[in-house]
Structures are given as C-alpha cells and as structure tokens.
C-alpha cells in the first residue's frame, strides 16, 4: 500500500542544488510485483540543472499528514501547518490545495492535553479573578461585565489560550495562541463573533475557534 504523499527536499548529485518534489515514501508498487524503489533509486529531474536520473538524496521531508488535512487522526498545530503551506506555495504555486486554504484545507488541531480550562479576568487597578471549567453562561456573564482594556483569558493547561480584550462598547479584540505563538488574531470583533469563538473553545473545537476569530480568505478570492 502506498504511503501518503509528502513534500520532499532532494539534493542533486549533478549540480549539488536542492529542490522539492511531492512523492510517497512507499509508492505501493510491491503490491503489483514491481520493485519498491528508495529515493536514491528513483529518477527525478533537477529544477536547477535539468539533470534526469537517480542518485538523489533526501535532505528533509514535510510531515506525511500535511496534505491530508484536516484529518482528526493526524492532527497538526496551526504553526506547523502555516509553515508547510509556505513551502508548498513557494515551490508548487499551482498546487490545487492552495486554492482551498481556509475552506477545505486547514489543520485539524491537536486536542487539549487537559480537560481543565482556567478562566482569568484582569482589569487595570483591580485584583485578578480566576475560576476553573467555566460554563458558557458564566463566560458570557464575565464577558458582558468586562471593563475597558480588561482582559478575559481562557486557557487549557499546556494547550490553546484564548484572550479577549474589550476595545469598544460593543467590540472586542481577540487572539488565540498555542504554547509557542499567536496563531489567530482579530480586532474590533462584534460580541456574537467572540461568543462563537468562545463556544468552540469550550467544546474543544480549536479549528472553529481560530476561524471564528480570523477567517482565512484563500489567495485570489474576492470574498
């Protein structure tokens, strides 16, 4: 059986250049009696010198789950997904997956490692308050009472963190981060959008939370 296609960076033995291909570690030829070739045994054409032949060595590979996204059985962090979208866009600008980024091509995020959600409210000049595993109604109440420049933070331990700041009488700034960096942010969002993001967050739906905060418009779309 063939393994999933993945991005593969190869070294050309002719000119020492590096180039990218999309291929499978195992192509499944053995099922039909053909010899299963390793990467150095396969023939590729170098994009720099146009040499065609075998002898190429693998420098690095993208994760096999990347082109399968969204796949609940093979989750990816949004940061990793965005990195490999960049590689795909740079080296394969006409790949059909790029037209679907944000619509049918987006990461299935890893589930939260802990079911416990911490909710913090921090307001200038006041002591912060915290509660564990808040209900949707409790979050809505805290959101409605959020003062100017106050922060409401929902966080899974070692997982996603959603931060909401009141930016106007009826608008909020919001951002969602994993343990490394902010992966989605929106400004002056209406309260219903923020409530939608919070609902997805509390249900463990990281994808829904991200897209509620910052919907992705595919490149070339007029939407």
Separation of alpha carbons 150 and 82, rounded Å: 30
| Residue 50: partners with Cβ closer than 8 Å, 6 or more residues away | none
Burial bucket for residue 46 (CB in 10 Å: 0-12, 13-18, 19+): buried
From first to last of the 223 residues of the chain, give the pLDDT tens digit: 678 999 999 999 999 999 999 999 988 765 566 788 999 999 999 999 999 999 999 999 999 999 999 887 888 888 899 999 999 999 999 999 999 988 889 888 876 544 578 888 888 778 788 888 888 899 999 999 888 888 899 988 657 889 999 988 889 999 988 766 788 889 999 999 999 999 999 888 888 888 889 875 444 444 4
Assess if residue 21 is contained within a domain.
Answer: yes
Assess if residue 124 is contained within a domain.
Answer: yes
Q: How many domains does the chain have?
A: 2
Shared domain for 96 and 139, answered yes or no, is no
Shared domain for 82 and 150, answered yes or no, is no
Of 36, 68, 100, the residue at which a domain comes to its end is: 100
Shared domain for 33 and 81, answered yes or no, is yes
Q: In what order do the strands lie in the sheet with 161-166?
A: 129-132, 117-122, 151-156, 161-166, 171-177, 182-190
Assess if residue 76 is contained within a domain.
Answer: yes
- Which candidate, 155, 154, 174, 156, places its Cα nearest to that of 164? 174
Assess if residue 112 is contained within a domain.
Answer: no
Domain ranges, residue 84: 5-100
């Amino acid at each position: 059986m063939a393994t999933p296609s993945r991005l593969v960076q190869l070294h050309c033995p002719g000119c020492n250049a590096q180039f990218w291909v999309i291929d499978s570690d195992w192509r499944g030829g053995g099922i039909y009696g053909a010899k299963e070739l390793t990467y150095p045994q396969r023939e590729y054409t170098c994009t720099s010198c146009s040499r065609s032949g075998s002898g190429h060595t693998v420098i690095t590979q993208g994760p096999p789950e990347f082109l399968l996204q969204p796949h609940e059985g093979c989750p990816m962090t949004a940061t990793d997904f965005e990195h490999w979208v960049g590689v795909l866009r740079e080296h394969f600008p006409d790949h059909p997956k790029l037209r679907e980024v944000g619509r049918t091509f987006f990461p299935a995020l890893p589930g939260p490692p802990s079911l416990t959600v911490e909710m913090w409210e921090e307001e200038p000049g006041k002591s912060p308050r915290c509660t564990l595993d808040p209900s949707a109604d409790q979050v809505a109440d805290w959101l409605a009472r959020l003062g100017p420049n106050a922060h409401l933070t929902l966080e899974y331990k070692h997982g996603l963190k959603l931060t909401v700041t009141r930016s106007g009488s009826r608008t909020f700034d919001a951002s969602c981060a994993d343990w490394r960096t902010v992966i989605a942010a929106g400004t002056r969002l209406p309260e219903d959008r923020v409530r939608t993001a919070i609902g997805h967050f509390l249900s463990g739906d990281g994808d829904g939370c991200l897209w509620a905060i910052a919907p992705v418009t595919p490149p070339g779309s007029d939407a």
